[in-house]
Amino acid sequence: MTTFNDFGLHADINRALAAKDYTVPTPIQTQAIPPLMKGRDLCGIAQTGTGKTAGFSLPSIHHLLTYPHRPTPRGCRMLVLAPTRELAAQIAQSCRDYGRFTKLSVSTVFGGVPINKQIRDLAQGVDILVATPGRLLDLIDQRALRLDDVEIFVLDEADQMMDMGFIHSLRRIAKLLPSRRQNLFFSATMPKEIAHLAEQFLNDPVTVSVTPQATTVEKIRQFATFVEQKEKQALLHSIVASEDIDRALIFTRTKHGADRVVRHLAGAKIKAMAIHGNKSQSQRTHALQAFRSGEIKLLVATDIAARGIDVSGVSHVINFEIPNVPEQYVHRIGRTARAGAEGKAISFIAPDERPYMRDIERVTRSKSEPMPLPENFNEMVRNLPKPVQPPRDTGSQGRNPQRQREDAMRGRGPGKPGGDRGPRRDGAAGEGAEGQRKRRFRPRNKSVGAHKGAVKRVG
């Protein structure tokens, strides 16, 4: 049996692993660490929850300790790109844990929080930088960060990067990296466009794969219930009341749908929180902390925001709405049955979602067990408590305070260039102002049109 001591990792790393009681590596760690210790590029096909973060961070930290030198001002020695804020924060914390007995510095940069503190943190340079692409480019454009001294480059969740429209940002970042570097590329799936992207970053890579594409975890029991869309909320209340739930992740396809589910649960005195791109960073962090601590048992999430959520003890995944991409279903239900535990996935399938479920079953080569509706379900639908109404927000159109402040500073509003309808950046759809390039707006010349009939022109 292979243990972490067999890899020849730096003594301070082994000390940190012992402190966390880690002794036996996962399959991807067993395959990835040896070639990475030799400096090889690597292409890893692995889903979230397989231990890939330790698979790339342990040998990388070993390299930084074996060849010690101070990072250059405004530079970094190791750069990790992640698609979402939550995943970036999670990777950074893992690096801090594994390097706890070293003097290596770790910083995280992503949108949704003030940029000035991040600029100050990078001024003296850092050993390990974990970033989302949008905020990384913001810092580069402000000359607060340089990438010409990067020794190790990690691209995590590449397929999600593509789904979120980061391809142009990735290509621009690639041009700023030094030619001599070690590259690590991870993706849960490897369609042709992802393989083409990997070719642009990797040089004679070692390929490791620990989970066949689009397979499901064996210890997850999958159930499906056919129900009308308008009746799903009543079914959710029934399951929450009848199932022995430790923690449950509830997935919706849209941000507004997630909020609507939470308001209905609140109307039934069931405590839950939502996490999605329209939430401020402080709200998202608070919701995750409450979920991890057990303050709440139900967390309602969209696919993008949930990417990278690694919370132990998730007993149930509930697909309130079925994803239209089979691979996304695999990502969702993979949040349960971790570390050898068992889990349950329950899908609510409306009539128009049946084709999605057929695609999922064909790709995953598995079939969900039927779950009948409760005997008194019609009565439950009739007596469904009314949702708690959100507080009125005149003039804000329901946008969160963080985005309102940012838009006010940039002179933007809904529907304006760079506002809510801008391209997606930093891990959430429609976050607009958080990661946009700063644009220059010319002040209006008061001499033009200052009075009715004015004809003066300014060249």
Q: What CATH number is attached to the domain comprising 134?
A: 3.40.50.300
Domain span holding position 376:
220-382
- Same domain? For 31 and 93 the reply is yes
Q: Which of 129, 88, 138, 80 is nearest to 107 (CA)?
A: 129
Domain end: 341, 357, 382, which one? Answer: 382
Mean pLDDT of the chain: 84
**Could you give the CA distance from residue 271 to residue 14 in angstroms, rounded to a whole number?**
41
| Of 255, 292, 297, residue with least CA distance to 274 | 255
Position 238 in a domain: yes
Residue 215 lies in a domain: no
Residue 133 shares a structural domain with residue 62 = yes
Among 184, 209, 234, give the residue marking a domain's end.
209
How high is the pLDDT of residue 415? 41
My answer on whether 162 and 258 are in the same domain is no
pLDDT value for 214: 53
| Predicted pLDDT of residue 100 | 96
Give the Cα separation of 315 and 326 in Å (integer).
21
Cα–Cα nearest to 424, from 169, 172, 189: 169
Whether 157 is covered by a domain: the verdict is yes
Pair 186, 236 in one domain: no
Query: Which ranges of the chain have pLDDT less than 50?
Result: 394-399, 401-403, 405-459
Same structural domain, 165 and 275? no
| Bridge partners, 43 (sequence order) | 185, 207
Residue after which a domain boundary falls, among 327, 352, 382:
382
| Backbone angles phi and psi of 114, in degrees to 5 | -55, 140
Question: How many domains are there within the chain?
Answer: 3
Q: Based on C-alpha coordinates, what's the Rg of the chain? A: 24
> Is the same domain home to 203 and 240?
no
- Given this model, what pLDDT does residue 139 score? 97
Do 106 and 143 sit in the same domain of this protein?
A: yes
pLDDT for the residue numbered 165: 85
Sequence-ordered list of residues with C-beta below 8 angstroms from that of 428, at least 6 positions apart, any chain: 84, 85, 276, 277, 278, 304, 305
The reply to whether 150 and 239 lie within a common domain is no
Residue 439: inside a domain, yes or no? Answer: yes
- Sequence-separated (6 or more) residues with CB below 8 Å from residue 11: none
* pLDDT for res 419: 37
Element (H, E) at 12: helix 11-19
Are 189 and 250 members of one domain? no
* Residue 214 is assigned to a structural domain of this protein: no
Query: 377 and 238 share a domain?
Result: yes
182 and 228, same domain (yes or no): no
Tell me: do 265 and 314 sit in the same domain.
yes
pLDDT of residue 305: 63
Query: Is residue 121 situated within a structural domain?
Result: yes
Do the domain assignments include residue 193? yes
Report pTM: 0.68
pLDDT at 304: 73
pLDDT for position 138: 96
For residue 254, being part of any structural domain is answered with yes
The answer to whether the beta carbons of residues 206 and 35 sit under 8 Å apart is yes
